[in-house]
Structure 1
Amino acid sequence: MTLTIAGTAAAGAAPDRVPLAGTKMTWGIVDKGPVPVDTPVSETVYLAVKDPAALARRAKEVSDPHSPGYGRFLGREQIREANRLDHAQVDRVRAWLTGAGLNVTAPDWRHLTVTGTFGQLNAAFAVTFHDYVFPPESGIKGHYLAPPTDLSVPAELGALVLGVGQVPILVRDAGQAAAPRRSAERRPHLDAGAAAQQCSQYWGQRPATGLPPVNGATPPLAPCGYTPQQLRHAYGLDSRGVTGAGQTVAVVASSMDTLEQDINTWSDRVGTQRLRPGQLTRVPSPDGSPPEKPGDGGYGAMIEATIDAEAVHGIAPDANIVSIGESTAQGGNLLAGLSYALDHTDASIVSLSLANDPPPGLRQAFEQIYQEGALQGVGFYFCTGDGGFRPNDTGGDWMMNGYAGSSWVTAVGGTSVAIGQDGKRIWETGWGTPVSDLSKDGTSWEQMHSEGGTGGGRATGQPQPWYQHGVVPDRYAATPDGHRGRVGPDVAFDADPATGMVIGGTPLNGSPDSDPSTWHYTEHTFGGTSLSTPLFAGVQALAQQARGGKRFGFANPALYQRAGTPAFRDVTAYRLPSGDPATAVLYRSNPAGGKTPELHHFLATQWVEKTDEYQPPEVGSGFDTETGLGTPTGAYLSSFNGH
């Protein structure tokens, strides 16, 4: 019976059903055949809101500075009552699922949790789940359970059901690390300050003596990792007397229970005030599922949580921080963390350094959460991604992080910044930093190769939002069909690992396959849009305090209202007086336990082969696809005084 239904769906001969696009297995990995029908399973079914158009309209009204409803936010209970489906509509969805034998519970008004067997899940969604594995030579362990055809729902429920929480479903092999359920943007770490003679406390402090020259001159040693005070001063954020007091920022990434201790140790070492009692709230997981373990993706998440919390604290030392872990439940995903932030915290700023591209139906579930946040006075800030150079299958678009491509989030890109001895910004350019390795004989630098850069470009399937009209040039926004699309990033901040910030914590000493009880506090320099995003979230805490504690909610309309003003520094390509690009030598730890010098070129573009069809994100005058509107200044904060 189940196989017959799945076959019908695969043939596309089921007009009484609506497919959930993007839920079939598309990876080129080994199909081991159908999952046994008696295998237990748990999944999440996401529901639509009562009137999607009305939700979007109301979210715009409270977010647009030109609207009479601007800033008139609603309480979470008001939002729930106005937008949740009627009981009769939910009962229809429940009846469909229970009719297939699944057990159904309702943890909140946005979704249902179903438990049962894969045979029952197959019957409900008219598919057959298969067991997929990566070939042995890939080195990736674990199994992915997914159907070879898209899930589908009864046509009469198509407007009520948006998607499911996690397909493919990852099943990890015991004791083995597998490819992650979700992808976080984390740049490789660099040793910070461990050997002072191999790095500089500020730009140009020490020359890289004993190494080959560049354009006839000795390049400088890269910074050891800027401190928060250096960044605050260079960006003019310490001139307005604001510290984020009275504001709450949520960061979403699984953390260790040493997070508070680590932040305080780091604060002592970099000259930032310690956390006051109760300033940090740590939520191990949003739904009661077990916290992530190091070998199951937790190691990287713990580092991310440390970066995020210290970046926020460094820029806004008096802001409260809520660190929300990630769901490990089967069928769980990032929406659990976002829902928790809205339902159980007073955070008005939510920073996420996570990257993924949800399927269309699930993307709408995210849009609803973002719009709900806008109504509640909560803004979501996403990294644009590192490397950021993925052409999509529609042609012509340069994709950034799919989460950041939403028109209802603030997408944060990255820059490279040089801070001088006096603490002032010497120069800043878009983050695109190819690297040259030292030749084997140590007499020259080899050909450049890509080290990454900020993501950016036109988001797929997202029309141009109202706030980008007249600001984003058509050369970025125009689509092949003659329309205009959403372009990111919106803003930027320091992200280059070669000019990053020093981070300290216990996870930085660990690894995916080691015992956390053996880890100890250490420091490294980190970069990436994983850094720039929480740094800008800290800036927003300062700005909200500057405007008398008033929340932004969804901030993009207010940001674009300041386009071309002193509130933002227009970031362009930087060249030395000789006309050559700036370079710096950075020492990276190698597997042998030593340090290897690398020459970083601040070209403000990724070192990739360009074609007529595809171009990487770029930096230039005005709005661009690496830095958006630019980077904030002290004038950005003062622009909100009395507003």
Structure 2
Amino acid sequence: MSRARRSALAVAGVLALGATGTAAASATPAQTLPGSVPSWATAAHRTGATAPSTSVTFRVYLGYRDPAGAAAYAQAVSTEGSADYGHFLTPQQFRARFSPTARTVGAVSGWLRHEGFSVGSVPANRKYVEATGTAGRAAAAFGTSFAQFRVDGRTVRGNTTPLHVPAGLTGVEAVVGLDESQTLAHADKLADPPAGFRNARPCSEYWGQRTVQNTATPDGTTLPDSPSTFAPCGYAGSQLQGAYGLKDSIASGTDGRGVTVGVIDAYASPTIQSDLETYSRAHGLPSVQGHFRQVVAPGTYQHPTNPRHDPGGWAGEETLDLEAVHTMAPGADLVYIGAPNNYRDLDAIMNRVVDGHLADIVSNSYGYGGEALPRGYIAPQLDTQIQAAAEGISLFFSSGDSGDETGGVAGATPTPDWPASSPWVTAVGGTSLGVTRSDQRLFEVGWETARSSLDPATTTWGTPTYLYGSGGGTSRLFAQPSYQKGVVPDSIATTYGGGAMRTVPDVSALGDPNTGMLVGETQAFSDGTYYDEYRIGGTSLSSPLYAGMFADAMQRAGHPYGLANPALYAARGSGTLDITTAPLSTYPGTVRVDYVDGESGAGGYRYSARYFDADHSLTIHVRPGYDDVTGVGSPDGGAWLDAVSGYGG
């Protein structure tokens, strides 16, 4: 008898035992779901009980029929030299080989209905069953209790003991949504502009244009001589194409055409189409007409002047991601996939993208500040990432904007961010970038910023303190993947003792907000709502920039890659710029001017020095070769295109 058949019969027996969920659960042997208690659900964080009437929507995730086989196949089709290299599956083929069966779905759905839940959607790959009910019913059905916890300044719901399901439901892998771990997701973007944000002047159109020596401050404030260069106003168009050595190849037609790049964020901007067109005209990029579409659920859109419908500034995140991809792959097709919220559905949206094969490359500029998530929450996402690789889809994730997550505090526990730490995605770290007047890369160093504020009484900079930087470090969850063996130094891979572990990031590109990208979107200013531009950064810039460049390489290669890391690690050296500390002696940092009110000089100015690669208070450091701030490095023009596109050829 098959496992699915045994499950169905077992659940049928459960349904006959009693009229209430509690009776049925207590009368039937239960299996414990490992990793189902959030690490933050502790007595120290508890603030009170969850009201039994609280509405909960959750997904019961089902495991693959052959999880080891799915992972092995995904690895093989992405790795040069394998007999299966490049033999990617269609979504239909993947479902036929690995997806949970319809009988398993029916068994779980039947049990949920019996327990009093309303059963919702089931995706085509049958990866989960969605359900809605109350916290009280969930506590009875899953054999636990729920409480409220204060975590990272937020009050979130969590189960206090492991979840249980009937023994017959052997296909259940995890339950996502009963606890609110997903509310801890954040957009990896540090320069999140408020309504009507502008970058203050003076700023430089290219590196070194305006300095303390040749440009007066707007209010007559005297500044120290070093650092001397006012921060760039924001790089755009040919500046970024030229800095990464791709301007000529893009102009010659290697511009991502024929490749679809997806961007996943939460919510959706109602002005994104017009903003993309305006931005493209301003910076010498082609129109996106006929090459852009949005895939969003009804009600996902938010009004640009009502931030309550745009938690965390996700409209700006969407704008940044799409404009960055379009800059580096102006011929690629763009698809934006917006989750209807940033607290429950990002995992389901990724599953939708992968199972529908909505894109060849997907850039994701969100994450969690560390790996302290329930193992049961991580496992279903790993499954989706494995399906992506098996289908030839390459996933890129920003590595995070808070360094090693210690904040430079001695004794704090370092950690990379999730999902960047997954071995099935490409984690993109950040750099600080100087671009010349002729659109050449002058320097590129690791992005770890220390800030000094001006003391107006002495006109000197204060003591620098760590502010933000490229996420990275050594995972505590995942063993070292094959593509990192022989590349990552043991001093990094075995930093916690024991066997070698996965390290982050894999690669890097511009991320420093102080040398960031110029983006444009419709904003609400004090004198009206209209399009304007501002400089922005974060590894949420690094990821879409790199995804765009990878689209160029995919076009040249003429085939998809699946998991991109084997090709990217193979391209190190001749095709990748190794980021080191060498340029710091000449380019130690920059001077930044900010409006106090964020919009104009009417409220005055703030002055600060921003020092590059200031990682002295962190556990991650830039060094020759692979490092845990910039990975193997950043793309180096035509040599990088040749190396990546030639992989597997």
* Superposed pair shares fold, TM > 0.5: yes
Aligned to 2:295: 283
Calculate the aligned-residue CA RMSD, in Å: 3.2
Would the alpha carbon gap of residues 234 and 581 (structure 1) be closer, same or farther in structure 2, given more than 3 Å must change? closer
Q: Distance in 2 between matches of 1:434 and 1:107?
A: 48
Would the alpha carbon gap of residues 34 and 382 (structure 1) be closer, same or farther in structure 2, given more than 3 Å must change? closer
Q: Distance in 2 between matches of 1:606 and 1:640?
A: 30
Q: Distance in 1 between matches of 2:185 and 2:192?
A: 20
Tell me the SS of whatever aligns to 2:262: strand
The question of whether the paired residues in 1 share the 8 Å contact of 2:36 and 2:377 is answered with: no
Matched AA of 1:157: L
Q: Distance in 1 between matches of 2:120 and 2:226?
A: 68
Q: Distance in 1 between matches of 2:163 and 2:362?
A: 31
Q: 1:555 aligns with which of 561, 564, 568?
A: 564
Matched AA of 1:332: R
- Does the alignment pair 1:119 with 2:122? no
Q: Deviations 1:64-114 (Å, cap 9, x if unpaired)?
A: 012121111111111112112233333333343233222324421111011
Q: Distance in 1 between matches of 2:579 and 2:339?
A: 34
**How do 1:372-387 and structure 2 match up within 5 A?**
372-387=387-402
Aligned to 2:272: 259
Gap runs ≥5 in structure 1: 9-13, 171-179, 609-614
Q: Distance in 2 between matches of 1:166 and 1:458?
A: 29
Tell me the SS of whatever aligns to 1:520: strand
The question of whether the paired residues in 1 share the 8 Å contact of 2:449 and 2:611 is answered with: yes
- Does the alignment pair 1:590 with 2:606? no
- Does the alignment pair 1:619 with 2:628? no
The question of whether the paired residues in 2 share the 8 Å contact of 1:258 and 1:506 is answered with: yes
- Does the alignment pair 1:32 with 2:45? no
Q: Distance in 2 between matches of 1:106 and 1:166?
A: 17
Q: 1:85 aligns with which of 100, 108, 113?
A: 100
How far 1:574 sits from its partner (Å)? 3.4
Q: 1:631 aligns with which of 615, 630, 634?
A: 634
Q: 1:146 aligns with which of 158, 171, 174?
A: 158
- Once structures 1 and 2 are overlaid, which stretch shifts more, 590-599 or 47-56? 590-599
Aligned to 1:186: 189
How far 1:132 sits from its partner (Å)? 5.2
- Does the alignment pair 1:601 with 2:628? no
Would the alpha carbon gap of residues 218 and 258 (structure 1) be closer, same or farther in structure 2, given more than 3 Å must change? closer
The question of whether the paired residues in 2 share the 8 Å contact of 1:18 and 1:155 is answered with: no
How far 1:340 sits from its partner (Å)? 2.1
Would the alpha carbon gap of residues 574 and 148 (structure 1) be closer, same or farther in structure 2, given more than 3 Å must change? same
Q: Deviations 1:10-56 (Å, cap 9, x if unpaired)?
A: xxxx97534443347626556333413x4443221111111110100
Tell me the SS of whatever aligns to 1:398: coil
Aligned to 2:347: 335
- Does the alignment pair 1:484 with 2:500? yes
TM-score by length of structure 2 reads 0.85
Q: Distance in 2 between matches of 1:462 and 1:33?
A: 34
Q: Distance in 1 between matches of 2:457 and 2:483?
A: 55
The question of whether the paired residues in 2 share the 8 Å contact of 1:18 and 1:158 is answered with: no
How far 1:273 sits from its partner (Å)? 2.2
Would the alpha carbon gap of residues 45 and 65 (structure 1) be closer, same or farther in structure 2, given more than 3 Å must change? same
Tell me the SS of whatever aligns to 2:156: strand
Q: 2:332 aligns with which of 303, 306, 319?
A: 319
**How do 1:447-596 and structure 2 match up within 5 A?**
447-507=463-523, 509=524, 519-548=529-558, 550-564=559-573, 566-575=574-583, 579=585, 582-591=588-597, 593-596=603-606
Would the alpha carbon gap of residues 409 and 205 (structure 1) be closer, same or farther in structure 2, given more than 3 Å must change? same
Would the alpha carbon gap of residues 640 and 529 (structure 1) be closer, same or farther in structure 2, given more than 3 Å must change? closer
Tell me the SS of whatever aligns to 1:372: helix
Q: Distance in 2 between matches of 1:181 and 1:482?
A: 30
How far 1:124 sits from its partner (Å)? 1.4
- Does the alignment pair 1:51 with 2:66? yes
Aligned to 1:231: 240
Q: Deviations 1:567-621 (Å, cap 9, x if unpaired)?
A: 1001101345xx465221111221373331211111x13353xxxxxx4221110
The question of whether the paired residues in 1 share the 8 Å contact of 2:33 and 2:174 is answered with: no
Would the alpha carbon gap of residues 492 and 547 (structure 1) be closer, same or farther in structure 2, given more than 3 Å must change? same
Aligned to 1:177: none
Q: Distance in 1 between matches of 2:310 and 2:242?
A: 35
The question of whether the paired residues in 2 share the 8 Å contact of 1:190 and 1:525 is answered with: no
Q: Deviations 1:330-350 (Å, cap 9, x if unpaired)?
A: x83212221221234541100
Matched AA of 1:308: D
The question of whether the paired residues in 1 share the 8 Å contact of 2:21 and 2:115 is answered with: no
Matched AA of 1:451: L
Q: Distance in 1 between matches of 2:624 and 2:163?
A: 46
**How do 1:355-504 and structure 2 match up within 5 A?**
355-356=367-368, 357=371, 358-390=373-405, 398-441=414-457, 443-504=459-520
Q: 2:255 aligns with which of 243, 259, 269?
A: 243
Would the alpha carbon gap of residues 251 and 68 (structure 1) be closer, same or farther in structure 2, given more than 3 Å must change? same
How far 1:234 sits from its partner (Å)? 1.2
Q: 4+ residue stretches of structure 1 with deviation over 6 A?
A: 1-5, 190-196
Matched AA of 2:555: Q
Would the alpha carbon gap of residues 339 and 77 (structure 1) be closer, same or farther in structure 2, given more than 3 Å must change? same
Would the alpha carbon gap of residues 432 and 40 (structure 1) be closer, same or farther in structure 2, given more than 3 Å must change? closer
The question of whether the paired residues in 1 share the 8 Å contact of 2:595 and 2:605 is answered with: yes
Q: Distance in 1 between matches of 2:645 and 2:107?
A: 51
How far 1:641 sits from its partner (Å)? 5.1
Matched AA of 1:341: V
The question of whether the paired residues in 1 share the 8 Å contact of 2:227 and 2:609 is answered with: no
Q: Distance in 2 between matches of 1:133 and 1:569?
A: 43
Q: How many residues align?
A: 599
How far 1:452 sits from its partner (Å)? 0.7
- Once structures 1 and 2 are overlaid, which stretch shifts more, 361-370 or 350-359? 350-359
Q: Distance in 2 between matches of 1:375 and 1:257?
A: 34
Q: Distance in 1 between matches of 2:561 and 2:179?
A: 34
Matched AA of 1:227: A
Tell me the SS of whatever aligns to 2:442: strand
The question of whether the paired residues in 2 share the 8 Å contact of 1:571 and 1:630 is answered with: yes
Q: Deviations 1:338-373 (Å, cap 9, x if unpaired)?
A: 122123454110000001244211211111111100
Q: Distance in 2 between matches of 1:59 and 1:134?
A: 36
The question of whether the paired residues in 2 share the 8 Å contact of 1:491 and 1:629 is answered with: yes
Tell me the SS of whatever aligns to 1:452: strand
How far 1:262 sits from its partner (Å)? 0.3
Tell me the SS of whatever aligns to 1:390: coil
Q: Distance in 1 between matches of 2:500 and 2:611?
A: 34
Q: 1:65 aligns with which of 66, 71, 80?
A: 80
**How do 1:95-110 and structure 2 match up within 5 A?**
95-108=110-123, 109-110=126-127
Q: Distance in 2 between matches of 1:194 and 1:98?
A: 53
How far 1:499 sits from its partner (Å)? 0.7
Would the alpha carbon gap of residues 290 and 580 (structure 1) be closer, same or farther in structure 2, given more than 3 Å must change? closer
Tell me the SS of whatever aligns to 1:272: coil
Tell me the SS of whatever aligns to 1:599: strand
Q: 1:165 aligns with which of 161, 165, 177?
A: 177
How far 1:145 sits from its partner (Å)? 3.2
Aligned to 1:11: none
- Does the alignment pair 1:294 with 2:307? yes
Matched AA of 1:265: T
How far 1:431 sits from its partner (Å)? 0.5
